[in-house]
Amino acid sequence: MRWMLLILLGLFLAGCASTDVYSSNDLRQVKQGYHELLPIYKGFKSAFRKNDASGIRYWHQREHQPCYHLVDEIDKRDTIDSNVKLFHASATLDSWCDDIEYAYAGWAKRHHLPYDHSLTPGRPQDAFIDGDFNLKIIPGDLRHPSVVS
């Protein structure tokens, strides 16, 4: 009977000890996504604020690779514990992609250009509120990714 309890306790503790809050691949890809998306987000936002049509198109095109491949791959894998800061950093990357897509859709609609009609563009002045707030937070999230948020 004692052995059975010890074996069950050992199995339980082994299971708890091996539970990772994220994989090394998650950390690598979120950091990569941050370094790729940050200049794209800032460039798109700047072009959008200036109503620079060529800049808006340029940065919108550049957004596709990291957002549709890297960020979506992280989301699909779904291996980051939602209680740690790395999860918030990953969600911020997704939010930046969404900000660009929604701002572009609104801009394209106003200029009678093709856009993704499944998106409902918001007001132009509201386009980057969440993303700008997260610009200040994400560096700390990446410095301490396993800290509980």
DSSP string, 112-135: T----TTS----GGGTTHHHHHHH
Tell me the pLDDT band of 122, cut-offs 50, 70 and 90.
Answer: confident
Cβ atoms within 10 A of the Cβ of 135, count?
Answer: 16
Rg (CA), the chain: 20
Q: What is the pLDDT of residues 8-67, one digit of tens each?
A: 555 555 444 446 788 889 999 999 999 999 999 999 999 999 999 999 999 999 999 999
Cβ atoms within 10 A of the Cβ of 71, count?
Answer: 25
pLDDT of residue 123: 85
Mean pLDDT in the chain?
Answer: 86
Which whole-number Å values give the CA distances from 40 to 9, 35, 66, 83, in the listed order?
Answer: 50, 9, 10, 28
Which residues is 84 bridged to in the sheet?
A: 148
Q: Evaluate if residue 146 carries a pLDDT over 90.
A: no
Q: What is the pLDDT of residues 44-56, one digit of tens each?
A: 999 999 999 999 9
Cβ-contact 70, 32 below 8 angstroms: yes
> Looking up tokens 């856009």, which residue turns up?
115
Section 98-109 average pLDDT = 94
